[in-house]
Each structure stands twice: as C-alpha cells, then as structure tokens.
Amino acid sequence: MVERWPIVIVGGGPAGTATALFLVRRRPELASEILILDKAIHPRFKVCAGGLIPHTIACLEELGIALEIPHVPVSRAFALTPAGTVEHNERRGFCTVVRRDCFDALLVDSCMRRGVTVRQGEKVLDVVEHAEFVEVKTERQNYRASVVVGADGSGSLVRRRVFGHDDRTIGRAIMADVSALDLHWAFPNDPWCKFDFRPAAEGLRGYAWMFPCSIDGTPHWNVGVYSSQAKAQGCRMNGLLEKALSRIGARAVRSCAYPVRLFHSRTRLATSRVLLVGDAAGVDPLMGEGISFAFEYGRLAAECIAAWREPGSDGVAAYERMVRESWLGRKLRRLNMLERMFYGRTSKFWFWFAVSSERARRVGLRWYSGQDGWDQLSLPRGLARLGQEAISLMRGLL
C-alpha cells in the first residue's frame, strides 16, 4: 500500500518537531498535511546533556510551548581554561537543563495537539527522490511525499540516501549521569555548571562539562566530554571522562557516546524536494550545541516549505541558499572560525584573551546564547559595532 502525504518529516527530535511547529504556526491549515515518522516511541532516551541556551527558551516562547517538564535553571558557570579559571554570573539565566526524553516528548505532544500526525515506532528504511515525488519506505509501508524533511539526526539516513555518505565533519560527545546522592558533597541550592577547556592545551579539540540535572526527581550531575574530531580522539575522550568522574568521587558509572554532525559551509542541504535540518544538516563545531540550531533550521525549513506551496515556486532548493545567507548560516560559519581559533595553534592566545577581558566574555556569551542580535546586523552595521567593541576591549585590557 502507498500512502500520499504532501510533507513527510523523518525524525521527531527537536529539528523535526520544530519544522512542523513553525510551519503550523505560519500556516495552520497545513497541519493535516504533515506526517512525522520516528523510529522511536517517545518518551525515549537520547544521549544528550540537555542544556538549553536562552535562544532555545525564546523559540519555545515564540511557539507558545510552556516548559512544563522537570528542568534545572542555571545562572552560574565556571570555565577552567589553560589560562586560568573564570566565573560567569548571568542574572537572566545562563542555561536551562532538561532531560531529552521529557523535552522531546513535550515537543512531539505539542505537534500532535496542533493537528500534526506523528507515527512512532516506524523506522524509515529508504528514501528515493523522483522528479514528481519522493518515495519513503518504512518497515511498515511505503509513502509518496511531495517534500521530505530529513530530521533524523547525525547519522541521517535521508542525508546518506540523497546526498551520499560523508563523515568528514563528525564530532563526538560522551557522557555519564551521576546521582548526587551517591557523592559525598551536597547538591548546590544555586546550581552551577562547569566547562573544562584545559584538555585543549593537550590537543583535545573540545572540552569536558558538568551540568546539574534532575532525573526522576533525583538531583544528578551530567558529566561529559566533547570533541569536534570524532575519529582521532575517541580513546583520549574516554580517559578524560574517567578522570572527570573520579575527581567528583563517582566510580563504575555507565557512559554513552553519540556522534554530533558539525556544520560545514560547503555541505549540501537541499534538492528540489528534500531538505535537511538539525544534526542531519550540521550544528555548532565549537561546543557541539545543537538544540537551538535544530529550532533555527526548523524555522527556515518551514518558511521555505510555506513559500513552496505558493503558485510559481520551483521547489525547496532555495533552502540551501536561505540557510547560508541567514543569521543561522553566519553564526555557524563564525563558530567554525572560533573552533579553529580556540582548539588550533593560536589556542593559548585566545584563552588568555577570554580570561583577561570580562567584557569580551560578556559580549561573546551574549552572542553565543542568542541574546544579542550580532548575526542579524547588516555588514556595515556589524563592522561599525565590531569597531566600537574592539576599542572598548582594548581600553579594558590596557
């Protein structure tokens, strides 16, 4: 049997659900034309620290989704770097930590409540693009879609089938959850998180982290290590995680690892009927943060699909250009550059600079967390603002 659907989204994680939610927000009448297929049944476990930056919280508010799941708001962060340790306090919130089983289930539920059809426990096995439609084969049946959105994560089948295999830009993160009740020190009333960049001085293109979280009502620490180079650094990452766990007195904790696909400016993101969002497209190479990008890819994909429904449109191929020219593409390109600066040969200088200038840190963090409109400025206005900031920074350092 072949079922016909105008829009099929493969994957019901943040990227797939955000695409559906932004599309329905823009064109509510399209809800009945969207089918989300997910091989998992939500709530499902996902290897992820669940740190939501303020931009993600703003996206949820924009979509009218209340964060009615257990979450830990964090306003204090410590960064341990080869040039020293700094503390950052953010009154308005540094990040919010969720568990992905609850968070993704909330997003899937929001889609269903808005009239989107979600079929769970249905794995997509193949995707074949034809001139007039896209064939999607699952373990249950076949579908014919006018447009397919590949939101199936870093190992994306849609990406492999449509654009070919490419593992040049795969990062990796490994993590473990430690119950705070098993440790000999109290869980703080004012939870903080920690980023340890010191391994960058020994060649790790990444960092170790510690996030507070709540699992089944019990306080936990999520401890992990990220590297933008999956292949070269697997063994070193395991060693670093063990070291981080033993430092807090946690032993014999089960760890799990997962790839993170990183953005590359030359990666293909769309054909005339298939487009990629979220990890399937590529996310932040500096920190491996992907949830806020999942929402932003989803927003652009929705914009593009809505325009494609207008008469005279020539498919969704424009999406690739839209991503590159949008502030999302600009931010991802800048993060690529920062990854080379902080984890490359000039690493020492940039950590020294970040530790020495509180203003640089503040500006950088506000940009990173999406509280600042830097990437939305036109080139001349951006350059003018950069000039002003550079002068203030020099004054601060001298």
Ligand X SMILES: Cc1cc2nc3c(=O)[nH]c(=O)nc-3n(C[C@H](O)[C@H](O)[C@H](O)COP(=O)(O)OP(=O)(O)OC[C@H]3O[C@@H](n4cnc5c(N)ncnc54)[C@H](O)[C@@H]3O)c2cc1C
Q: Which residues of 4-14 are buried (b: 16+ CB within 10 A; e: fewer)?
A: ebbbbbbbbbb
Alpha helices (H) in 27-166, listed in sequence order? 54-62, 100-113, 157-163
DSSP 270: B
Distances (CA, A) of 21 to 10, 16, 91, 134, 323: 14, 9, 30, 22, 18
Does residue 124 interact with ligand X by CB under 6 A? yes
Distances (CA, A) of 237 to 47, 211, 274, 317, 348: 16, 17, 35, 38, 21
> Using CA atoms in the order 298, 299, 303, 304, what is the torsion angle rounded to 10 degrees?
-30
CB of 3 to ligand X, least distance (A): 16
Does residue 60 interact with ligand X by CB under 6 A? no
Query: CA-CA distance, 93 to 76, in Å (whole number)?
Result: 8
Q: Which stretch binds ligand X (CB under 6 A): 34-42, 182-190, 242-250, 384-392?
A: 34-42
Does residue 329 interact with ligand X by CB under 6 A? no
Query: CA-CA distance, 59 to 70, in Å (whole number)?
Result: 18
CB of 283 to ligand X, least distance (A): 5
Q: Which stretch binds ligand X (CB under 6 A): 32-40, 82-90, 161-169, 189-197?
A: 32-40
Question: Which residues have C-beta within 8 Å of that of residue 362, sequence separation ≥ 6?
Answer: none
Which residue's CB is nearer to ligand X, number 83 or number 262?
Answer: 262
Q: Which of residues 201-230 bind ligand X (CB under 6 A)?
A: 224
76-81 and 2-10 as β-strands: parallel, antiparallel, unpaired? unpaired
Q: Which of residues 264-293 bind ligand X (CB under 6 A)?
A: 278-280, 283, 288-291
Q: Is 154 helix (H, G, I), strand (E, B) or coil?
A: coil
Q: For ligand X, which residue has the nearest CB?
A: 290
152 close to 275: Cβ distance less than 8 angstroms = no
192-196 and 76-81 as β-strands: parallel, antiparallel, unpaired? parallel
Q: Which stretch binds ligand X (CB under 6 A): 21-29, 37-45, 332-340, 346-354?
A: 37-45
**Phi first, then psi: what are they for 325, rounded to 5°?**
-90, -10
CB of 114 to ligand X, least distance (A): 18
Question: Which residues have C-beta within 8 Å of that of residue 383, sequence separation ≥ 6?
Answer: none
Q: Which stretch binds ligand X (CB under 6 A): 6-14, 264-272, 340-348, 351-359?
A: 6-14
CB of 363 to ligand X, least distance (A): 21
Q: Which of residues 127-186 bind ligand X (CB under 6 A)?
A: 151-153, 157, 173, 175
Which residue's CB is nearer to ligand X, number 83 or number 335?
Answer: 335
Which residue's CB is nearer to ligand X, number 19 or number 347?
Answer: 19
Does residue 294 interact with ligand X by CB under 6 A? yes
CB of 260 to ligand X, least distance (A): 5
Residue of 15, 275, 276, 316 that binds ligand X (CB under 6 A): 15
Which residue's CB is nearer to ligand X, number 13 or number 191?
Answer: 13
Question: Which residues have C-beta within 8 Å of that of residue 136, sequence separation ≥ 6?
Answer: 8, 10, 37, 124, 126, 127, 142, 143, 144, 145, 148
Residue of 7, 9, 11, 159 that binds ligand X (CB under 6 A): 11
Residue of 34, 40, 193, 269 that binds ligand X (CB under 6 A): 40
Residue of 31, 47, 183, 307 that binds ligand X (CB under 6 A): 47
CB of 11 to ligand X, least distance (A): 3
CB of 44 to ligand X, least distance (A): 7
Residue of 260, 286, 322, 354 that binds ligand X (CB under 6 A): 260
Interface residue list for ligand X (CB under 6 A) = 10-16, 37-40, 46-51, 123-124, 151-153, 157, 173, 175, 224, 258, 260, 278-280, 283, 288-291, 294
